[in-house]
Amino acid sequence: MEITVIESPGFPFQSVLTAAPLAYVRHLLGDHACELLELLHVGEETEVVLRRVAASAVSVERLIGDADERALLLGLLPETKQAELADRLGREDSDQPDAFLSALPWTPDQRRTFLGFLGLVVDRAPEPPASFRSLCEPDYALFPHQRLAAGKVRRLLYSGERRAVLHLPTGVGKTRTGMNLICDHLRQSEPGVVVWLARGRELLEQAALEFERAWSALGNREVTVLRMWGDAPTDIDSIADGIVVLGLDKATAAAKGDPTFLDRLALRTTLTVFDEAHQAIAPTYRKTVDALTLRSDSSLLGLTATPGRTWSDISEDERLSDFFARQKVMLEIDGYDNPVTALIEQGYLARPEFRTVAADSGMKLSARDKQALAASFDIPDALIARLAENVQWNLQVVRTVLDLSQQHRRILLFAASVEHSRLIVAILSMFGIDADQVTAESSTRHRDRAIKRFKGPSARPMVLSNYGVLTTGFDAPAASAAVVARPTRSLVLYSQMVGRVIRGPKAGGTPNCDVVTVVDPALPGFGDVAEAFTNWEDVWKAR
């Protein structure tokens, strides 16, 4: 969720910070942020900088939600403003303002009133409509390598095991190719229902919009597009012909509420498509896929740029391969062992320059830390949290972004946490950089607005920071640089982050791109997406 400033507050939060003791401002920012700002020194008095950054980096909603922090904040209001706030909250004339405020239960409505008093509102927007019908108009095409891959997949989907994975590099159009296959299926199966499975609002909405574009060119009749995620109803009786774009979490919740939900949907479904197919064998999701593919004439298509679960656990990757009957169609281009190289040379992918920037945090790994690393597929959250509060690490992140802003118009930053993203954006803004962020806490409206600005035309450089929401389902061809400030040993996650900026000029992107990974020598990581593309080939070979 995002906080928006309103015009007529009782006492603006900025005014609170201006009058507050400097010790309180330091308390809000934390020692690591204060030290970082002092090292960066942006040409103003340190005290002024600390107060300005705190105004945008601190989550006021969280302060108000915490009893101790709320009491500190209330104590900083002048007596007249305490009385004004108490009156807004329904104080009787006989009550003392401070006693009245301290005795309040501070319900959500009361906390929102306090936010408004400070000149802020929580910006929440409704989820997109649950379902609607739309007629499509033609305009769709595939590149030759996409058509070749689609033809191979088509043969596998309608014979033998009737399941396959389409393996295309990020930025090469796996969604577009998949939609071409779906449209073929619906034309041949009238009436017919396809279920598209994915996680995340962006990925789901992207799929729904992409199907509408595809069907406008390839369709032969009017069909239904049923969006089913978030708070949308799970009414499937209204669809007999078309596509259900179904959130995986929504499917799980619906099946718990109605044990017949998946069975009833399966009776109508002859093709199930699993986007980001490397997730398909997670126990909960596999139950959904198994339920939807029980019909003997039902097919299963997986889409992924990373056809493996890990980079080191072969047994996990083999389980995924077996689930799709070891049938994977990889992009093939004559004359090249690795198609990524060909796509770069032919302009479909940008030519990436991978660099690492070392930031020696001085973090020492204990025996317990090393055990946690060995036992996990990725770097444990506790280690990442420690790094995200490290001054030397953040100093290197900020310097890296500032350097790239001299050469690139659109830069994506992958932060280590929500708080980390908030802090870096606030500091970049102090340097005059146009910086914004989207995280899982961002409202739908703010997220859409920030992404639209990032994708829009502007000569001024812009940095879009995010945590956990732009690794998939996000397409910004103008983005030509990425800063990976989120340490990971997940080859899947790293490939997805890098994939946001490697769309080439033939696909509406840029000829070159920079990928800078900020690394700590104490932690593992990755650095080359071309190697990632062929990492899992061994486990997909037929036994």
Domains and CATH numbers, the chain: 2-123 (no CATH), 131-330 (3.40.50.300), 348-529 (3.40.50.300)
The amino acid occupying position 123 is: D
**In this predicted model, what pLDDT tens digit does every residue of 49-85 receive, in sequence order?**
888 899 888 888 888 999 999 999 999 999 999 889 9
What pLDDT, on a 0 to 100 scale, did the predictor assign at position 308?
Answer: 65
Structure tokens at 159: 């014979």
**In this predicted model, what pLDDT tens digit does every residue of 182-213 receive, in sequence order?**
999 999 988 999 999 988 777 788 889 989 98
What pLDDT, on a 0 to 100 scale, did the predictor assign at position 373?
Answer: 44
Nearest to 465 by CA among 175, 474, 305, 350: 474
Q: Given a cut of 50, is residue 325 above it in pLDDT?
A: yes
Which pTM was predicted?
0.59
If you average pLDDT over residues 488-498, what whole number do you get?
67
CA-based angle 453:175:141, to the nearest 5? 95
Please give the Cα distance from 245 to 17 (Å, whole number). 46
Please give the Cα distance from 198 to 50 (Å, whole number). 42
pLDDT, the chain, mean:
80
Q: Give the rounded percent of residues in the chain with a pLDDT score beyond 90.
A: 22
Q: List all residues 6 or more positions away from 158 whose beta carbon is below 8 Å from its beta carbon.
A: 299
Structure tokens at 194: 């396809």
322, 326, 332, 337: CA torsion to nearest 10: 80
Residue 483 phi, psi (nearest 5): -115, 115
- pLDDT-wise least confident of 146-160, 173-187, 218-232, 347-361: 347-361
Q: Which residue has the tokens 């910070």?
A: 17
Query: How crowded is the C-beta side of 494, counted as CA atoms within 13 Å?
Result: 27
Structure tokens at 341: 């190289």
Structure tokens at 390: 């490290």
Chain center to CA of 204 = 12
